[in-house]
């Protein structure tokens, strides 16, 4: 997820398990959800320039930027293979239902080979449908304003939802098999034992499973329910224009260009952008309040039917993390507010010669520090050298993204803002979307998304059912890739000012990833709990937003008029409730991992690659154990937060030197 207004990466994703989106998810719906949310959908990496519609857009240096080729999926919207795959998916689903519906328990009585064969067929169908929805979603993200592509994507969602409805019975019936019967079948079949991690994972959802009829109803209505409201949010936000008054002229900008101005070096432009955002959000606040209220109630209905006790329990289940672990993370971050965000923003106010910063100053570049423009070839070199310095294999994998057309970095009209890495399906490969303008943070975005790409390539060997990684661990490779790149660049700084600028930029990224995301999570908790008592007015939502923002940012940030509406643009509140804490989890996890790497890197690389290759086959406790880490231990979070605190210590030391 990202901090749109800041133009800084805050979160990110590889969405994979979202059981609160009905019904209990299969791999196909996870892929569909991933494309709906697109990790970092609104991560702002653009300059305050209008996008170009040229086929091969250039960055600020004039370099031609790469655009992806989706030919490894399909050759075009009219590729006959698309319709062939739809027909195959339909016939395969019908045959699968005829062969297994109502018969799984009988087959298990004879051993595990029949179920193993069923799982192979099921996995192959998930792969085929995943390829179709991935292609449609990537095409749509490449151009959201083309009516033909929008229809193609909408049709794909509807057709695949209809087909996958035929398969709903499979996971539901599996979860009705007695544990002892399934365990015996697994013990008798090596082929079935291969799928044990997936089966164990599936059975965690057993207590929240509904009847076949209800699951089918929830599933079919999702197209006109949650999906429709998500689409309304996306299209409303994409259609907004913000009137920004700067340099004596008025400009009509889209949201990403406007948000980008919030990190401009000119305070007048930052203020103008902040005011423009507030004006437009206020004009549309009733729409955003309606969307928020409707989706919150929709989630509450689902949670009630499924038996979730807490508003965030469905997310914890999706992330395969215990509620007490998340509570410990949240408590640790809240306790650290004074040592982290409050202290840093007080220091930044001093740099700006102010008693307090206005909210449009929060992510402003440091004064008197020139903004360097980095062309695309240099960005590639920076990231690849950092990756190779850690492990040649890491750089070899990421090199394929550059060489084989797996990256879309060009800026053009209609393209989704922000950045994401989408895994597609194991038989193909991931794709990365960026909006590259040559800023230093764009380089970090590239490092981040390539980290995801490397992770997705390695995990893909687990197959369509077991490659998906829980969100809490999906950020590991991406944030680690950023850290490698940051440390590489920091080591090359030559002046105190250059070092201060890099440290400050990294601290702000970390605060946006940890402190801000936990504040977002607390906002969501308050909102969903309050919604249980009835519909919330836009003013009530604004009040909830302001309460958590003031606590997290501290006394050195003045939240001016209009800021109360800024909840309206955060996409993950709409697309994936309570998703945001995964970013704080991932950042603290990587900080702890990197500390282990720095203390003693003997054998670290092999352990690290083993962790990435595991995909979704292991719990976080199993993955972290080889590094001597345990997320259930409060010291784990303290270790991660201490890294951020240490960078602020260094900034203060530079200030006092």
381-414 pLDDT, tens per residue? 999 999 999 999 999 999 999 999 999 999 898 8
| CB 490, CB 503: distance < 8 Å | yes
User: Given this model, what pLDDT does residue 103 score?
Assistant: 87
- 192 assigned to some structural domain: yes
Distance CA 77, CA 469 (A): 30
pLDDT at 596 over 60: yes
Distance, in Å, from the CA atom of 70 to the CA atom of 3, rounded to the nearest integer, reads 29
Question: Could you tell me the pLDDT band of residue 58, with boundaries at 50, 70 and 90?
Answer: low
Start-to-end CA distance of the chain, whole Å, equals 36
CB atoms within 10 A of CB 173: 16
Range of the domain at 171: 68-228
Least confident of 17-26, 249-258, 283-292, 508-517: 17-26
- pLDDT, one tens digit per residue, over 544-578 is 999 999 999 999 999 999 999 999 999 999 999 99
Q: What is the mean pLDDT of residues 73-95?
A: 98
Q: What is the DSSP string of 308-367?
A: -SSTTHHHHHHHT--HHHHHHHHHHHHHHGGGTHHHHHHHHHHHTT-SSEEGGGTTPPPT
Q: Is residue 365 scored above 70 in pLDDT?
A: yes
pLDDT category at 614 given cuts 50, 70, 90 is: very high
Q: Which residue has the tokens 């997290």?
A: 552
Secondary structure of 444-473 as H, E, C letters:
HHHHHHHHHHHHHHHHHHHCCCCCCCCHHH
Residue 95, in any domain of the structure: yes
- Identify the weakest region by mean pLDDT among 54-58, 144-148, 467-471: 54-58
Q: So what's the pLDDT on residue 47?
A: 27
* Domain contains 85: yes
Please give the mean pLDDT across all residues of the chain.
Answer: 88
User: Is residue 1 very low, low, confident or very high in pLDDT (cuts 50, 70, 90)?
Assistant: very low
The predicted model gives 419-424 an average pLDDT of: 95
The pLDDT of residue 294: 98
**Beta strand spans in 159-310 (E):** 242-246, 249-253
What backbone phi and psi angles, to 5 degrees, belong to 3?
Answer: -90, 95
Residue 621 maps to a domain: no
Residue 210 falls inside a structural domain = yes
**Phi/psi at 251 (5° precision):** -125, 140
Instruction: Please identify which residue in the block is written with the tokens 């979070």.
Output: 637
3-state secondary structure of 202: helix
State pLDDT tens for residues 215-242: 889 988 888 999 999 999 998 998 999 9
Residue-level pLDDT at 42: 31
Residues whose CB falls within 8 Å of the CB of residue 102, separated by 6 or more in sequence, listed in order:
169, 173
Mean pLDDT along residues 65-70:
97
Q: Which residue has the tokens 């930027």?
A: 65
Query: How many structural domains is the chain composed of?
Result: 1
Angstrom distance (rounded) from CA 632 to CA 630:
5
Task: Identify whether 218 is part of a domain.
Answer: yes
Give the chain's radius of gyration (CA, Å): 24
Q: In this predicted structure, what is the pLDDT of residue 348?
A: 97
Residues 477 and 473: their CA atoms lie apart, in Å, by: 8
> Is pLDDT above 80 for 27?
no
* Ranges 32-36, 114-118, 435-439, 581-585: which has the least confidence: 32-36
CATH code (residue 190): 1.20.140.70
Compute the average pLDDT of residues 36-40: 36
pLDDT of residue 33: 45
Question: 394, 421 in Cβ contact below 8 A?
Answer: no
pLDDT for res 322: 93
How far is Cα 17 from Cα 14, in angstroms, rounded to an integer?
10
**344 within a domain of the structure (yes/no):** no
Least confident interval from 31-35, 181-185, 595-599: 31-35
Q: How many CB atoms are closer than 10 A to CB 497?
A: 14
Interatomic CA distance for residues 228 and 454, integer angstroms: 33
Asked if the model's pLDDT at residue 39 lies above 50, the reply is no
**117 belongs to a structural domain:** yes
Query: Tokens representing 395?
Result: 């750089």
500-517 pLDDT, tens digit each: 999 999 999 999 999 999
- Mean pLDDT, range 158-178, rounded to an integer: 92
| Residue (of 454, 420, 424, 554) closest to 9 by Cα position | 420
Range with the poorest average pLDDT among 14-23, 64-73, 434-443, 648-657 = 14-23
Say if residue 460's pLDDT is above 60: yes
Look up the pTM and report it: 0.83
Helix/strand/coil for 535: coil
- Res 36 pLDDT > 50: no
Does residue 23 carry a pLDDT above 50?
A: no
Q: How confident is the model at residue 474 (pLDDT cuts 50, 70, 90)?
A: confident
Q: What is the pLDDT of residues 323-334, one digit of tens each?
A: 999 999 999 999
């Amino acid at each position: 997820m990202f901090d749109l207004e800041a133009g800084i990466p805050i979160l990110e994703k590889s969405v994979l398990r979202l059981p609160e989106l009905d019904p209990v998810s299969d791999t196909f719906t996870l892929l569909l959800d991933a494309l709906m949310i697109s990790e970092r959908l609104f991560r702002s990496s653009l300059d305050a320039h209008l996008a170009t519609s040229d086929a091969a857009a250039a960055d600020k240096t004039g370099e031609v930027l790469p655009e992806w080729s989706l030919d490894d999926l399909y050759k075009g919207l009219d590729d006959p293979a698309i319709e062939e795959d739809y027909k195959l998916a339909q016939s395969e689903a019908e045959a699968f239902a005829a062969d297994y519906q109502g018969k799984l328990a009988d087959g298990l009585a004879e051993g595990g080979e029949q179920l193993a064969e069923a799982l192979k067929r099921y996995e192959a169908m998930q792969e085929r449908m995943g390829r179709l929805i991935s292609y449609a979603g990537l095409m749509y993200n490449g151009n959201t304003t083309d009516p033909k592509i929008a229809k193609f994507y909408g049709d794909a969602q509807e057709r695949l939802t209809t087909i996958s409805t035929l398969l709903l019975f499979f996971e539901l019936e599996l979860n009705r098999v007695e544990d002892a019967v399934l365990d015996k079948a697994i013990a008798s079949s090596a082929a079935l034992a291969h799928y044990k991690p997936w089966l164990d994972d599936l059975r965690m959802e057993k207590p929240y499973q509904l009847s076949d009829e209800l699951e089918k109803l929830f599933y079919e209505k999702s197209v006109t329910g949650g999906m429709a409201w998500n689409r309304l949010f996306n299209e409303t936000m994409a259609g907004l224009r913000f009137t920004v008054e700067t340099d004596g002229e008025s400009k009509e900008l889209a949201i990403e260009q406007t948000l980008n101005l919030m990190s401009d070096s000119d305070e007048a432009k930052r203020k103008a952008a902040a005011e423009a955002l507030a004006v437009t959000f206020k004009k549309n606040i009733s729409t955003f309040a309606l969307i928020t209220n409707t989706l919150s109630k929709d989630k509450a209905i689902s949670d009630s039917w499924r038996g979730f006790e807490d508003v965030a329990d469905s997310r914890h289940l999706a992330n395969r993390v215990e509620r007490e672990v998340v509570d410990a993370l949240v408590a640790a971050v809240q306790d650290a507010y004074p040592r982290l965000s409050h202290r840093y923003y007080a220091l930044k106010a001093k740099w700006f010669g102010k008693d307090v910063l206005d909210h449009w100053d929060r992510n402003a570049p440091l004064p008197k520090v020139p903004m360097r423009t980095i062309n695309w070839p240099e960005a590639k070199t920076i990231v690849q050298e950092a990756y190779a310095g850690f492990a040649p294999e890491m750089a070899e994998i990421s090199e394929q993204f550059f060489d084989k057309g797996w990256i879309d970095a060009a800026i053009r009209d209609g393209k989704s803002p922000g950045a994401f890495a989408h895994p597609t399906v194991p038989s193909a490969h991931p794709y990365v979307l960026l909006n590259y303008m040559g800023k230093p943070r764009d380089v970090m975005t590239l490092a981040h998304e390539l980290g995801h790409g490397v992770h997705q390539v390695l995990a893909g060997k687990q197959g369509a059912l077991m490659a998906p990684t829980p969100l809490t661990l999906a950020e590991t490779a991406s944030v680690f890739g950023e850290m490698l790149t940051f440390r590489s660049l920091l080591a090359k700084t030559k002046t105190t000012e250059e070092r201060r600028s890099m440290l400050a930029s990294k601290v702000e990224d970390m605060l946006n990833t940890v402190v801000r995301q936990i504040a977002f999570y607390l906002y969501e908790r308050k909102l969903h709990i309050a919604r249980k008592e009835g519909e919330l007015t836009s003013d009530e939502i604004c009040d909830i937003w302001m309460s958590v923002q003031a606590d997290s940012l501290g006394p050195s940030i003045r939240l001016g008029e209009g800021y109360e509406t800024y909840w309206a643009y955060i996409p993950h509140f709409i697309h994936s409730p309570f998703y945001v804490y995964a970013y704080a989890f991932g950042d603290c996890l990587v900080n702890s991992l990197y500390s282990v790497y720095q203390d003693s890197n003997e054998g670290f690389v092999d352990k690290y690659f083993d962790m990435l290759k595991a995909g979704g086959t292991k719990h976080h406790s199993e993955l972290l154990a080889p590094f001597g880490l345990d997320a259930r231990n409060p010291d784990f979070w303290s270790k991660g937060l201490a890294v951020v605190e240490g960078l602020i210590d260094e900034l203060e030391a530079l200030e006092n030197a």
